[in-house]
Structure 1
Amino acid sequence: MLDKHAKLERNAIAFVFAIIFVASIGGIVEIAPLFTIDETVEEVEDMRVYTPLEVAGRNIYIREGCYACHSQMIRTLQDEVERYGPYSLAVESQYDHPMLWGSKRTGPDLARLGEKYSDDWHVAHLINPRDVVPSSVMPSYAWLQRNSLKNEDMDLHLAALRKVGVPYTDEMIENAAQDTYGQARPDSEPADAFLERYGEDSNVRAFDGDPGRLTEMDALVAYLQILGRLTDVAHQQASNSTGGE
């Protein structure tokens, strides 16, 4: 066997073809399922899109590298389901570009984080994680509370997402900047217009606790509070599988 391997190493052309052959096997395993993606992704009636403020928060989440320590995909293993909640379904990520499933968990999985804690908890946690989780190794993101959110180009972000299949309407794209502001300003005219476009079930509140400013903290907390709540299908399936117990 070693003699055959030595001959292969000395034959550069054969070695290149061997590498291509082995690499192609992995490529086929990863690419082939994509041809049946339309059949594997569920269709649910209550699936909704990210709002402009949540898109902005997701962009900040990516910018700060949060995905490097937190996954957003609960596997079907019993211990994961018991710890984090119902396992993740493909439909829950159909509007995620890029997807943030992740594989490393320095911190906990965030797939079911939405509304698990209060906005105040998230703000305190992001400013100084050890104030609420003494054993946390997460760095502080206090500057998010000081940074004003730039929302002037949110229409471009939504337009780009529509290019890859997210069903934003022309009206949503045209009013993206105003809707970013309205979602964080309850009892305002922009908030009323936002609810007309995105539905009465959408979260409208001053996420960072300061209704006088629109900050990056507003956006990130809004995003964290919607994780796992774009659709309720996973919880419904879990309830059905346990007989509604």
Structure 2
Amino acid sequence: MNFNFKHEWVETNIGLMAVLTMLAISVGGLVEIAPLFFIDKTIEKVDGVRPYTPLEQRGRDIYQREGCYTCHSQMIRPFRDEKLRYGHYSLAAESQYDHPFQWGSKRTGPDLARVGGKYSNEWHVQHLVAPRSMVPESVMPNYPWLLSTPLDISDTADRMKALRKVGVPYSLSQAEYDTNVGKFGETVAKQLHIPDAQKNLVAQANFGNYDGDRSGVSEMDALVAYLQVLGTMVDFSKHTDDAFVDAR
């Protein structure tokens, strides 16, 4: 049988080639996706993981708007070299309230899954305004306007309502609020209550003073608040490193 002839015949028949390509992609997709519907523990039960506060969520919106995800992943893989550089490998539970999640393998800059608390607010502000003043070899662009641009908080509640529709447990009713109190504690539940979104956002920005200026709430406040929470919700001392493999 002349397989070369058959292969050439498929390649020169555009319609057949398209059908076979779609079939191959569909089979590959099903093999990867279908098992997830039958796995009970796709997302681990991990204490401490909560939805983002209104300020943190607005910071995440800015992070996506500025394209930060194109150079920074938030996925530490279970390899020894990754652990030594970044810390514990990423857990699915950490991204359960992310829409969309920021996992990926493309890195121009470092992974940011554990960046929260690693640097001071002042360091982040200076790094975002003039990256090479902090990291001389950085190829990151400057983002000075974040410091001078007031954060638009007028649609904060609407953004939270949209996320609520895809499963993020922001509360609207008293019953939902009470459920969040039982699940996350009263302090967190107050931050997740949509009717108080703007008030809570301003209060967190003033308390955290992320941009060093309490006279207003800037986009820098929001972005730094988001960066400072990454990787801080889970107590990794309670998780073993059994999944780490040697990547050498």
Taking structure 2 as the reference length, the TM-score comes to: 0.84
Matching of residues 75-114 of structure 1 within 5 Å: 75-114=77-116
Matching of residues 1-245 of structure 1 within 5 Å: 1-36=3-38, 38-170=40-172, 172-186=193-207, 205-232=208-235, 234-238=236-240
CA gap 1:63/1:12 in 2 versus in 1, 3 angstroms = closer
Asked whether the equivalents of residues 8 and 15 of structure 1 are also in contact (C-alpha less than 8 Å), the reply is: yes
Letter in 2 for 1:184: A
Distance 1:49 1:99 in 2: 13
Distance 2:62 2:237 in 1: 28
Secondary structure of 2:83's partner? helix
Asked whether the equivalents of residues 8 and 14 of structure 1 are also in contact (C-alpha less than 8 Å), the reply is: yes
Asked whether the equivalents of residues 69 and 102 of structure 2 are also in contact (C-alpha less than 8 Å), the reply is: yes
Secondary structure of 2:116's partner? coil
Instruction: Compute the displacement of 1:185 (Å).
Output: 1.4
Indicate the larger mover: 176-185 or 5-14.
5-14
Post-superposition CA distance 1:95-132 (Å, at most 9, x none): 00001112211100000000000000000100101111
Instruction: Compute the displacement of 1:39 (Å).
Output: 2.5
CA gap 1:210/1:136 in 2 versus in 1, 3 angstroms = same
Instruction: Compute the displacement of 1:37 (Å).
Output: 5.7
Runs of at least 5 residues in structure 1 that lack an aligned partner in the other structure: 187-204
Secondary structure of 2:229's partner? coil
Taking structure 1 as the reference length, the TM-score comes to: 0.85
Asked whether the equivalents of residues 88 and 241 of structure 2 are also in contact (C-alpha less than 8 Å), the reply is: no
Aligned residue number for residue 190 of structure 1: none
Distance 2:240 2:121 in 1: 27
Q: Percent identity?
A: 54
Instruction: Compute the displacement of 1:182 (Å).
Output: 0.8
Distance 2:240 2:143 in 1: 35
Aligned residues: 223
Asked whether the equivalents of residues 71 and 110 of structure 1 are also in contact (C-alpha less than 8 Å), the reply is: yes
Post-superposition CA distance 1:123-179 (Å, at most 9, x none): 010010111111111110010000000011111111111111111112611111111
Letter in 2 for 1:173: I
Post-superposition CA distance 1:214-234 (Å, at most 9, x none): 0000000000000011332x4
Asked whether the equivalents of residues 36 and 42 of structure 2 are also in contact (C-alpha less than 8 Å), the reply is: no
Runs of at least 5 residues in structure 2 that lack an aligned partner in the other structure: 178-192
